[in-house]
């Protein structure tokens, strides 16, 4: 089964195509508020390179956030458009999980962050144990120092823009039953 994966929540534009469990196309490009200009071009280039059509995909996974307001809207709009017009099932995953999914084969506690503006981060703390995920602190938007204070006392590995690793096969994904009601997880107020 061919799967399209999209995430534009951070400074990284992530697009991958999978054929069953094999990655057949990957774009992991760093951007500067220009994911909206590059996302469709990168998907189109991948389709050409792999000799595929969008209708060949049987599943779409999109990062639902938290993250960049524009990046989330662009990726979600494109994923919804593809899913609706081609009747392809759409699934969502936390964008923070997507950014760290390459670590999820290894047991441990992971503090995952993505930079936000004005000294804030999007973050979460989760434990991977025997392939299962236990969310300790769910997706949040906090001042960096408050997030670090919140997770102190845990023996964690920090995943941030310096060391993101991607493996969408390790994600907990959620099926979308109503495309028209789907909105990004755009966090702005501190919890």
Do 82 and 142 share a domain, yes or no?
no
CA 70-71-73 angle, to 5 degrees, is: 65
Do 30 and 46 share a domain, yes or no?
yes
For residue 188, is it within any domain? no
Q: pLDDT tens across 31-68, in order?
A: 666 677 789 999 999 999 999 999 999 999 999 999 98
Compute, in degrees rounded to 10, the torsion defined by CA atoms 57, 6, 157, 113.
Answer: -160
Do 78 and 101 share a domain, yes or no?
no
Q: pLDDT tens across 114-137, in order?
A: 999 889 999 999 999 998 999 999
Do 52 and 6 share a domain, yes or no?
yes
Domain count for the chain: 2
For residue 187, is it within any domain? no
Cα–Cα distance between 155 and 114 in angstroms, integer? Answer: 19
Do 20 and 70 share a domain, yes or no?
yes
Range of the domain at 43: 2-94+167-181
Do 134 and 40 share a domain, yes or no?
no
For residue 140, is it within any domain? yes
pTM recorded for the entire structure: 0.94
Report, as an integer, the average pLDDT of 131-157.
95
Q: pLDDT tens across 81-109, in order?
A: 999 999 999 999 999 999 999 999 999 99
Do 16 and 71 share a domain, yes or no?
yes
For residue 128, is it within any domain? yes
């Amino acid at each position: 089964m061919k799967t399209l994966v999209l995430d534009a929540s951070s400074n990284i534009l992530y697009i991958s195509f999978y054929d069953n469990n094999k990655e057949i196309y990957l774009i992991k490009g760093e951007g500067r508020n220009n994911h909206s200009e590059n996302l469709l071009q990168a998907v189109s280039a991948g389709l050409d390179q792999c000799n595929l059509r969008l209708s060949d995909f049987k599943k779409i996974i999109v990062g639902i956030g938290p993250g960049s307001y524009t990046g989330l809207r662009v990726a979600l709009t494109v994923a919804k458009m593809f899913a609706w017009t081609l009747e392809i099932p759409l699934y969502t995953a936390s964008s923070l999980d997507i950014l760290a999914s390459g670590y999820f084969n290894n047991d441990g506690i992971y503090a995952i962050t993505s930079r936000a503006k004005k000294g804030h981060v999007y973050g979460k703390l989760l434990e991977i144990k025997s392939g299962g995920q236990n969310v300790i602190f769910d997706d949040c938007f906090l001042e960096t120092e408050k997030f670090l204070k919140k997770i102190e006392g845990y023996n964690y590995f920090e995943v941030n823009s310096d060391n993101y690793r991607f493996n969408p096969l390790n994600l907990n994904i959620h099926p979308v039953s109503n495309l028209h009601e789907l909105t990004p997880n755009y966090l702005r107020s501190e919890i």
